[in-house]
């Protein structure tokens, strides 16, 4: 059994997919930084930023629906920002009497909440497009290009390579557990054993997973040695970025810069 | 969906730029140091080991179990990684896990990644190391030290990391401290029990099958004392700071407001481009409408361009 | 002329004291294709790991004229290509290209030469189109072929394979046998797949309990029912 669905990469024949991963990586990070720096209440700038990321979604052929579905993953976290509507002082908006207490929402509080939610939503979409339109190995090259240490990049690569192998193992363990759990999943019924016992069983499964990881890493190490590995992480040099690439990078960064100037000029 | 995000991973948008950047700087410093340490202290065998163990921790996070109602416990893995590999390698492993979660699964933001690595990879590991080593010393190397130390390290690392998340949110002005701290702390005191039990179960399995593996992390590494002290300080600081912040939320709010992070930079910019330079769109409502139209045009233009490009490719 | 593989009085015990090889001697001439058979735990894998110095026991191991010792390890590992049983352990890089390039890269070859080696190794296993693919999306048979390419790219004189047909479906197994038949280099293949041995490898070495118990033409040894049965092998 293979967990292809774990890999977010969606192969398409699109200009976004064809774009150099280094550019996508840097532009995505710059976009998220721009979103983060945009002040609360600069709604027009948020609209333009949304237009940019939605354009990327359209261009990439991923479809807006697909990206939105994945982008909503961060939604539950918005709860953390909800109280700020009531706790931030400012012009009162409305009051909610709860028992003996009165909660007063402020305009500033609502503005902050909406900006946090918007920022999160916009950033998430950009990250989803990056992950879905870029093969992870290319992303690893981009990470090398921006100066992330080779050892760490090698670690990311190894983790990604064995993620799917080990998740398969974990799923087999879970299936074996489920096959022997008489009342496992039925709603409304108490499952077998105490929480502590269930946790210990799960812990044992995790332990065996770690043990297999240890043993596998020994075999990988031997396979690396057999091909000359000497402890140093090596890689082929990256091809230079073409002129068009540099131009696109400069254009993107300039655009983000202009949007920020625009935002601070009016809403700073 | 098998993969459920844990509330420990902060998405983008929830941290102010300043908080995110400061945590990035700290994280880069510590992870950079850990990389140098790992390169020096550990054999070349460690490279595949750390990579595969990172994958195992990720896979281990799928082995959730029902606690009560709809909630389930699953693994963060800082404690087990620290106990199995020692603190420096554990920092690298957790950095890898959290980084891949953000890059591939959007579990936690990219700008917030520095903070997430800091919370889980640095605070989690330092606190785990401090607790585990202390209990080990007290137990004199007996087996109960392994289990008690493992449980306590796992539980406390989760709780302290959660408090750190709450404080960062409060400091960013995203969530008031008097709500975020008790909420995050309270939930994770429960989640931490799950983490502790799984960690103990995993340790028991490894102890029974391959006791020798438990010694890798036991040998005191160079800089181990500093990590121990770091863990102690972080645990104490957050244990004291969080209730304090929770009791005086306005204090943190005030910091978030006053330090305002960008206020200083905003002033000159604001003066540079006064409203009348753009007389046509000085009105905010009008600006919003214009932006809406321009934005729609961008998307429409891109869609049209794409359709044209596709047709030319297939033609 | 030197032998491809020359082992004299090799003995090895694992750290726990368990003896895995007892006084093993073996010579393989260039171009020979030899099968290594015997029950699990006979010492086949341990012997294989001695051929490029990952394990080192007492005795003498010479590969392509090079004694297997610390100062020669780099050249020895380039001369002997080891293909392990589980391709998931052998393919540890993110992409097929990275994996096939790993050996040449550590040989210190210039980038252009590395690329040439990768292209020709993938061509040799008929997987040219797979360079940019990601290993975990491949079938077991495809992974096996790529695993062989990862050592072919080092242009070894000797190819050593551990259980190459294990876990393959009949069609993939057939394809792999044809591939191995067409490769010109000296070959030592450890396997339980006696049908493949008979078809592909004219010489057979039987190991049991750390010793070589028989060494001769495959066709003859296969007829010796008593010998086969004594070492847990089935006559075909």
Distance CA B295, CA B308 (A): 20
Distance CA A55, CA A64 (A): 9
- Going by pLDDT thresholds of 50, 70 and 90, the confidence category of residue B203 is very high
The answer to whether A35 contacts B291, with C-beta atoms less than 8 Å apart, is no
Burial state string for C138-160 with b = 16 or more CB within 10 A and e = fewer than 16: beebbbbbbbbbbbbbbbbbbbb
Between chain A and chain B, the number of residue pairs with CB atoms below 8 A apart is 348
The answer to whether A220 contacts C92, with C-beta atoms less than 8 Å apart, is yes
Using CB atoms, which residue from A61, A117, A203 is nearest to B200? A203
The answer to whether B242 and B185 are in contact (CB under 8 A) is yes
Asked if residue A258 and residue A154 are part of one domain, the reply reads no
Predicted local confidence at residue C216, as pLDDT: 93
Q: Domain map of chain C by residue range?
A: 5-230
What is the rounded average pLDDT for all residues in chain C? 92
Distance CA A49, CA A33 (A): 12
The answer to whether A26 and A146 are in contact (CB under 8 A) is yes
Q: For C5-230, CATH number?
A: 3.40.50.300
Distance CA A122, CA A52 (A): 10
Minimum distance, in Å, between the CA of residue A208 and any CA atom of chain C: 18
| Res. B214: pLDDT tops 90 | no
- Going by pLDDT thresholds of 50, 70 and 90, the confidence category of residue B54 is very high
> Which residues does chain A have with pLDDT short of 70?
1-5, 181-193, 195, 268
Q: Does domain B17-258 have CATH number 1.10.1760.20?
A: yes
In a domain, A258, yes or no: yes
Containing B227, the helix (H) or strand (E) segment is helix B224-247
- Which residue matches tokens 């975020």? B180
The answer to whether A222 contacts C49, with C-beta atoms less than 8 Å apart, is yes
The answer to whether A166 contacts B273, with C-beta atoms less than 8 Å apart, is no
| Res. B4: pLDDT tops 50 | no
C101 vs A: CB within 8 A: yes
Nearest to A133 by CA among A7, A264, A250: A7
In a domain, A128, yes or no: yes
Asked if residue A92 and residue A20 are part of one domain, the reply reads yes
Chains that touch C (3 or more CB pairs under 8 A): A
Q: Can you spell out the DSSP letters for chain C?
A: ---SEEEEEEEEE-TTS-EEEEEEEEEE-TT-EEEEE--TTSSHHHHHHHTTTSS--EEEEEETTEE-SGGGHHHHHHHEEEE-S-HHHH--SSBHHHHHHHHHHHTT--HHHHHHHHHHHHHHTT-GGGTTSBGGGS-HHHHHHHHHHHHHTT--SEEEEESTTTT--HHHHHHHHHHHHH--SEEEEE-S-HHHHHHH-SEEEEEETTEEEEEEEHHHHHH-HHHHHHTT----
Strand partners, C217: C203
Dihedral pair phi/psi, residue C13, rounded to 5°: -125, 140
| Res. B262: pLDDT tops 50 | no
pLDDT in tens, A221-251: 999 999 988 877 888 888 898 999 999 999 9
> Which residues does chain C have with pLDDT short of 70?
1
A158 vs C: CB within 8 A: yes
Q: What is the mean pLDDT of residues B59-77?
A: 65
Strand order in the sheet with C203-208: C80-83, C158-162, C186-190, C33-37, C203-208, C211-217
A235 vs C: CB within 8 A: yes
| Res. B264: pLDDT tops 50 | no
Using CB atoms, which residue from B20, B68, B269 is nearest to A261? B269
SS3 call for A97: strand
Predicted local confidence at residue A159, as pLDDT: 93
Full domain range(s) for residue A253? 6-145+240-267
For residue A55, give both structure tokens.
Answer: 């354009």
What is the rounded average pLDDT for all residues in chain B? 80
DSSP class of A93? E
Predicted local confidence at residue B261, as pLDDT: 41
In a domain, A61, yes or no: yes
Minimum distance, in Å, between the CA of residue A37 and any CA atom of chain B: 6
Distance CA A62, CA A103 (A): 43
Asked if residue A134 and residue A76 are part of one domain, the reply reads yes
pLDDT in tens, B177-191: 888 888 888 888 888
Asked if residue A225 and residue A122 are part of one domain, the reply reads no
In a domain, A197, yes or no: no
Asked if residue A99 and residue A66 are part of one domain, the reply reads yes
Using CB atoms, which residue from A173, A211, A265 is nearest to B270? A265
Asked if residue A115 and residue A41 are part of one domain, the reply reads yes
In a domain, A189, yes or no: no
Predicted local confidence at residue C215, as pLDDT: 94
Counted domains in chain A: 2
pLDDT in tens, B101-154: 899 888 889 999 999 999 999 999 999 999 999 998 888 878 888 999 999 999
- Which sign does the torsion angle of CA C133, C139, C142, C143 carry? positive
- Going by pLDDT thresholds of 50, 70 and 90, the confidence category of residue B3 is very low
Asked if residue A110 and residue A155 are part of one domain, the reply reads no
Nearest to B205 by CA among B91, B74, B60, B76: B60
Asked if residue A158 and residue A133 are part of one domain, the reply reads no
In a domain, A185, yes or no: no
Nearest to B16 by CA among B253, B282, B183, B212: B253
Asked if residue A103 and residue A54 are part of one domain, the reply reads yes
Asked if residue A211 and residue A98 are part of one domain, the reply reads no
Asked if residue A253 and residue A153 are part of one domain, the reply reads no
Asked if residue A223 and residue A122 are part of one domain, the reply reads no
Distance CA B32, CA C14 (A): 38
């Amino acid at each position: 059994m293979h967990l292809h669905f774990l890999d977010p990469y969606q192969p398409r024949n699109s200009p976004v997919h064809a774009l150099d991963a280094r550019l996508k990586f840097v532009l995505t990070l710059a976009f998220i930084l721009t979103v983060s720096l945009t002040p609360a209440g600069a709604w027009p700038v948020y609209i333009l930023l949304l237009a940019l990321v939605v354009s990327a979604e359209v261009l990439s052929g991923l479809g807006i629906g697909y990206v939105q579905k994945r982008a909503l993953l961060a939604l539950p976290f918005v709860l953390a920002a909800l109280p700020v509507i009531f706790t931030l002082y400012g012009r009162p908006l409305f009051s909610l009497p709860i028992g003996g207490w009165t909660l007063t929402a402020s305009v500033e509080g609502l503005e902050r909440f909406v900006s946090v939610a918007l920022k999160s939503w916009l950033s998430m979409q950009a990250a989803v497009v990056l992950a879905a339109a870029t093969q992870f190995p290319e992303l690893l090259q981009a990470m090398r290009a921006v100066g992330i240490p080779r050892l760490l990049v090698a670690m990311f690569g190894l983790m990604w390579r064995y993620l799917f192998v080990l998740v398969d193992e974990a799923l087999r363990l879970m299936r074996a557990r489920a096959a022997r759990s008489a009342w496992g999943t039925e709603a409304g019924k108490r499952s077998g054993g105490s929480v502590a016992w269930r946790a210990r069983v799960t812990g044992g499964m995790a332990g065996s997973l770690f043990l297999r990881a240890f043993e596998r890493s020994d075999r990988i190490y031997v396979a690396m040695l057999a091909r000359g590995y000497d402890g140093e992480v090596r890689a082929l040099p990256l091809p230079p970025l073409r002129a068009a690439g540099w131009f696109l990078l400069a254009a993107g960064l300039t655009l983000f810069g202009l949007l920020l100037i625009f935002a601070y000029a009016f809403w700073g | 969906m098998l993969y459920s995000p844990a509330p420990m991973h902060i998405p983008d948008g929830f941290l102010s730029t300043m908080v995110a950047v400061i945590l990035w700087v700290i994280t880069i410093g510590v992870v950079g140091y850990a990389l140098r340490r790992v390169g020096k202290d550990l054999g070349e065998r460690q490279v595949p080991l750390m990579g595969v163990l990172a994958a195992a921790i990720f896979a281990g996070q799928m082995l959730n179990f029902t606690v009560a109602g709809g909630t389930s416990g699953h693994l963060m893995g800082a404690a087990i990684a620290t106990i199995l590999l020692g603190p420096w390698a554990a920092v690298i492993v957790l950095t890898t896990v959290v980084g891949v979660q953000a890059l591939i699964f959007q579990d936690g933001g990219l700008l917030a990644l520095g903070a997430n690595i800091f919370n889980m990879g640095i605070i989690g590991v330092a606190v785990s190391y401090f607790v585990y080593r202390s209990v080990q010393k007290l137990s004199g190397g007996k087996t109960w030290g392994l289990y008690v130390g493992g449980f306590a390290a796992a539980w406390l690392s989760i709780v302290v990391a959660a408090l750190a998340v709450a404080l960062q949110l409060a400091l960013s002005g995203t969530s008031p401290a008097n709500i975020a701290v008790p909420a995050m702390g309270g939930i994770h005191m429960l989640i931490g029990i799950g983490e502790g039990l799984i960690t103990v179960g995993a340790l028991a399995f490894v102890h029974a099958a391959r006791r020798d593996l438990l010694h890798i992390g036991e040998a005191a590494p160079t800089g181990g004392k500093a990590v121990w002290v770091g863990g102690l300080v972080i645990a104490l600081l957050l244990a004291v700071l969080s209730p304090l912040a929770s009791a005086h939320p306005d204090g943190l709010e005030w910091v978030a407001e006053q330090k305002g992070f960008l206020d200083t930079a905003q002033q000159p910019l604001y003066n540079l481009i006064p409203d009348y330079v753009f007389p046509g769109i000085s009105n905010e409502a009008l600006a919003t409408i214009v932006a809406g139209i321009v934005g729609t045009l961008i998307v429409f233009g891109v869609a049209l361009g794409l359709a044209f490009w596709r047709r030319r490719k297939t033609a | 002329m030197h032998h491809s593989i020359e082992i004299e009085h090799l003995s090895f015990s694992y750290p726990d004291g368990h003896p895995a090889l007892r006084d093993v001697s073996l010579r393989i001439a260039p171009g020979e294709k030899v099968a290594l058979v015997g029950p699990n735990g006979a010492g086949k894998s341990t012997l294989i790991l001695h051929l490029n110095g990952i394990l080192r026991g007492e005795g003498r191991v010479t590969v392509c004229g090079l004694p297997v010792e610390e100062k020669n390890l780099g050249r020895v590992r380039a001369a002997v290509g080891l293909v392990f049983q589980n391709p998931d352990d052998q393919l540890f890089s993110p992409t097929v290209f990275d994996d096939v390039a790993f050996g040449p890269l550590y040989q210190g070859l210039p980038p252009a030469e590395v690329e040439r080696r990768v292209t020709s190794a993938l061509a040799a296993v008929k997987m040219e189109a797979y360079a940019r693919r990601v290993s975990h999306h491949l079938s077991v048979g495809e992974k096996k072929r790529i695993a062989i390419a990862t050592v072919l790219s080092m242009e070894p004189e000797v190819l050593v394979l551990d259980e190459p047909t294990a876990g393959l479906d009949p069609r993939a197994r057939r394809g792999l046998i044809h591939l191995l038949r067409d490769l010109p280099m000296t070959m030592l293949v450890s396997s339980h797949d006696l049908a493949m041995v008979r078809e592909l490898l004219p010489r057979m070495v039987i190991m049991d309990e750390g010793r070589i118990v028989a060494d001769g033409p495959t066709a003859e040894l296969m007829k010796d029912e008593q010998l086969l049965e004594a070492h847990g092998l089935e006559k075909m």
